[in-house]
Amino acid sequence: MPRARKPSSLATILSLSLGAPLAGAQPASAPPPAPSAPSTPGTPAGAAATEATPRGFSFGSYGRVTVASDLRGRSGQQANLVAHGPRLDLPPYAELQFNYDAVFGRIRARTVITLAVNENLFHFNGRFDGTFAVRNLYLEAQGVFSPQLSLWVGSRMYRGDDIYLLNWWPLDNLNTVGGGARYELGGRLILQAQLGMNRLDDPYQLQSIRIAPREGFGPQNALLLDRPRLLASAKATYFFQPLTSRGGLKLSLYGELHSMAAGVRQTNDAGARELLPADGGTVLGAQLGGWTGERSTFFNVWVRYARGLGAYGDLRVPVSQGTARSASRAEEFLVAAAGNWERGAFGVLFGAYARYFRDADPSVFSRGALWEGAVALRPTVWFGQHAGLSLEGSYQRIVYNALDPVTGEGAAQGSLFRVGVVPFVTPAGRGNFTRPHLQVIYTATVRDAGARRLYAPDDPFGFNSVEHFLGLGTEWWFNSSYL
């Protein structure tokens, strides 16, 4: 599950969210650039190798661990109704990031490796089979052609700003294997571009079949369907004040292109096959953000429209497409907002979104078309520097373009309210984005009758109008790549 985290200052948030330079300005005590080394055997005449000045390894991490009860003898479970609900009951997740920095003359380079661990904790399930995922594996270089230019190639989480309370990046959030560039122009304009691909392990993109060999014995594997998705994105961010200002306003324009070649897949053991036509999609969006010099006070507003493959995101494929076998009919429209205000011993976090989604199936009435939304508000008060109390209230609602499955009358729809109480200890001091935290978490989720009817008949969520979640939690982040 994707992480969500925030640095402790808004300047850092803004710079990281835009793909900031590798290490910022060098301190005055930094060693001078390494001189060019003389030509060595194997180096063409007249060329010179550049000796690297290592800066060494660094380590970063994001992590959260929660264990909870539902106060009915079962473990506490995530109870969200919509796609992007509040994060208080998220399962355990962690990332381990390893960086290596070096300087080659005027060029700075950083290798980033990020390993992620999911909620399969040995001390909880007794199974010695935890799963790791490689979330980052790339090299970034700054200053190759210009001090304002950064280039990267590899496998990367490529992200902008998030809604922390909803654990979600509403505009730009790509998982790509490819490369990109970032260029700062005039101290107020930042341009970014990325090109990459992915190939999900799904029969929509990948299928291997067993075939009889021309010679010899035993079946062989053949890669019948292999059509990776090409992902391209571009982003331009203009700052109305210089980047060095304590407060300011920014406007970002963003776009994506998705493209996939045609292919053939096998549909049954008898060998029947079908043609999957070429497919594609687009995303267009914008973000308006502002911040002040008062601690981490900021606001962000997003709008996003997507069609075709872009409506599904980069890690999903169309589930239902109808007879056309194309995602071209799918679309998504959303608006979202997030903000934070802090003053003295008080702070308030806010996050909300509304979203319309329609899948590629031409059916008029189905759960493939829906409206959904959520809003969350978390006021916090600190007692001294190292303890505090957060209260969180949230509301979620979803409405499908389909009949109620039980009553047969009206649209299938539901809503829920949630209230949470979170006393915590914060060793690093005050701040809504200061971590680590040691927490006691209690939430009560109240579902209406329509929400309960959306679950399967034997699902406890379908007959419990109130869901409790009481547990212990911790969350931390430090020196961890935001994109």
* CATH code of the domain covering residue 247: 2.40.170.10
- CB of 84 closer than 8 Å to CB of 374: yes
Number of domains in the chain: 1
29 within some domain: no
Residue 393 has pLDDT above 80, yes or no: yes
The b-or-e profile of 255-264 (16+ CB within 10 A means b, else e) is bbbbbbeebe
Which residue, 226, 166, 164, 154, is CA-closest to 195? 154
Most distant pair of Cα atoms in the chain: their distance: 83
Instruction: Supply the pLDDT for residue 25.
Output: 33
- CB of 324 closer than 8 Å to CB of 360: yes
Q: Which stretch of DSSP H or E encloses residue 451?
A: helix 449-453
Residue 399 has pLDDT above 90, yes or no: yes
283 within some domain: yes
Rounded distance between C-alpha atoms, residue 161 and residue 285, angstroms: 13
44 within some domain: no
CA dist list (Å): 9 to 19, 122, 263, 324: 16, 35, 48, 49
Rounded distance between C-alpha atoms, residue 305 and residue 285, angstroms: 6
Which residue, 343, 291, 331, 340, is CA-closest to 307? 331
Please state the pTM of the whole predicted model. Answer: 0.85
40 within some domain: no
Beta strand pairing status for 273-276 and 298-308? unpaired
Which residue, 282, 196, 290, 306, is CA-closest to 252? 290
CA quadruple 132, 136, 138, 141: dihedral positive or negative? Answer: negative
pLDDT in tens, 208-226: 888 877 777 777 888 889 9
pLDDT in tens, 457-473: 888 898 889 999 999 99
| Residue 364 banded pLDDT, cuts 50, 70, 90 | low
36 within some domain: no
pLDDT in tens, 280-333: 999 999 999 999 977 789 999 999 999 999 999 999 888 765 555 788 889 999
3-class DSSP state of 309: helix
Rounded distance between C-alpha atoms, residue 383 and residue 166, angstroms: 26
439 within some domain: yes
43 within some domain: no
Instruction: Supply the pLDDT for residue 186.
Output: 86
Task: Tell me the residue range of the domain where 197 lies.
Answer: 10-21+53-478
Tracing tokens 């194309």 back to the chain, one arrives at 326
Instruction: Supply the pLDDT for residue 402.
Output: 86
Residue 418's DSSP bridge partners are 394, 445
| Residue 269 banded pLDDT, cuts 50, 70, 90 | confident
3-class DSSP state of 23: coil
3-class DSSP state of 473: strand
Q: How many residues does the chain have?
A: 483
- CB of 278 closer than 8 Å to CB of 261: yes
Which are the contacts of 47, defined by CB distance < 8 A and separation ≥ 6?
Answer: 39
- CB of 90 closer than 8 Å to CB of 167: yes
47 within some domain: no
3-class DSSP state of 302: strand
